[in-house]
Homo-oligomer: A and B are copies of this chain.
Amino acid sequence: MAKLTMVQAINLALHQEMKKDEDVVVLGEDVGVDGGVFRVTDGLIDEFGEERVMDTPLAESGIAGFAIGMALYGLKPVAEIQFSGFAYIAFHQMEAHAARLRGRSGGRFTVPMVLRMPYGGGVRALEHHSESREAYWAHTPGLKTVIPSTPRNARSLLVSAIRDPDPVIFYEPKASYRAFKEEVPDEEETFPIGESQIVREGDDLTVIAYGAMMRPTLEAADKLKEDDGIDCEVIDLLTISPLDDAKFTKSAQKTGRILVVHEAPRSFGPGAEIITRLVEKSFVYLEAPVRRVTGYDVVIPLYQREFDYLPGVDRIVSAARETLDFKA
């Protein structure tokens, strides 16, 4: 048991899985000698060699398609896209093939790969380095989309993703890469893909969030408790698709008032699906319109203004208050 950052925790998952299963290979731009631009794959090449830790040419579709081929043969590739903003170059490979080959071949071929990438704002990066567009993947039948929020769940979810027999898109909140540490057990740990987690119980309001948004969300919950005596139930989605609607619809039946937080652009974003599931499954319990606190429908600005774009504690708190104040 050690206190690790998320970068270290993900590294631990990769280390242990590569050690345990020689079919696990890692590939991507700068993942080898350099250890990844965020050092997530640090040391892997020394331990497992360049045959299993492959520095690839600079080509995202190439990385995805190459990984698909390896997976078809039976390997379990963990491919890194350097930033999620460049993953759209590989999008068609994931949509047309990774997501479909099991179905297309009637189960003869499968694509047990993970496509990992850092996503999201808040690290003073250049353009295309701060996007949060998980909805693209989530809308694609045949893909699973996972977004951890802490070192420990990043580690356990990545292990599950690597062992998953199907392709998993693994979005890593880069703003949380080194922002805090958490105890992560040395021994193996998995966490089921497709399951969300209630990280704080409460009766007044349900707040649904994930990834880097968990931190302002939990801070807002503290503030609401302190300032207003409001008890928030906070749900960390962890998996975006398949969406675990059981937990949040149940929570909504208790609180009747719900807030969804994400940094992705608002329209046609993940919040819309969550709200729709609530309408479909908990309609009669809703006491106020479900509100979303999200990124705006614009390109996230460069770093001087990125926190204007990103949902922060204040926006969450005031949306919570409005939701609680709502009277039909």
Binding site for B on A (CB under 8 A): 85-86, 88-89, 91-92, 95-96, 99-100, 103-104, 127-128, 133, 135-136, 138-142, 241, 243, 264-265, 267-273, 275-276, 279-280, 283-284, 286, 288-292, 297-299, 328
Contacts and interface: CB of A to CB of B under 8 A. Distances in A.
A267 B138 contact: yes
Contacts of A127: 100, 104
A292 B272 CA distance: 13
A276 B135 CA distance: 15
A32 B29 CA distance: 39
B283 A288 contact: yes
Contacts of A91: 88, 91-92
A139 B265 contact: yes
Contact of A267 (B268, B273, B279): B273
Contact of A88 (B95, B243, B265, B267): B95
Contact of A279 (B103, B265, B275): B275
A91 B136 CA distance: 11
A279 B288 CA distance: 9
A103 B296 CA distance: 14
Q: How many copies does the complex hold?
A: 2
B267 A139 contact: yes
Given A268-B241, A268-B272, A328 B284 contact: yes
5 contacts: A88-B91, A103-B298, A141-B299, A241-B268, A272-B275
A268 B270 contact: yes
B88 A92 contact: yes
A75 to B, nearest CB: 24
Contacts of A328: 283-284
Given A276-B276, A279-B275, A135 B139 contact: yes
A148 to B, nearest CB: 19
A275 to B, nearest CB: 5
Given A92-B89, A128-B96, A103 B299 contact: yes
Contacts of A133: 139-140
B283 A100 contact: no
Centre residue among A128, A140, A243 by max chain B CB count within 10 A:
A140
B88 A96 contact: yes
A193 B269 CA distance: 21
A139 B100 CA distance: 23
Given A268-B135, A289-B283, A141 B297 contact: yes
Nearest to A271: B276
Contact of A273 (B104, B264, B272, B279): B272
Contacts of A88: 91-92, 95-96
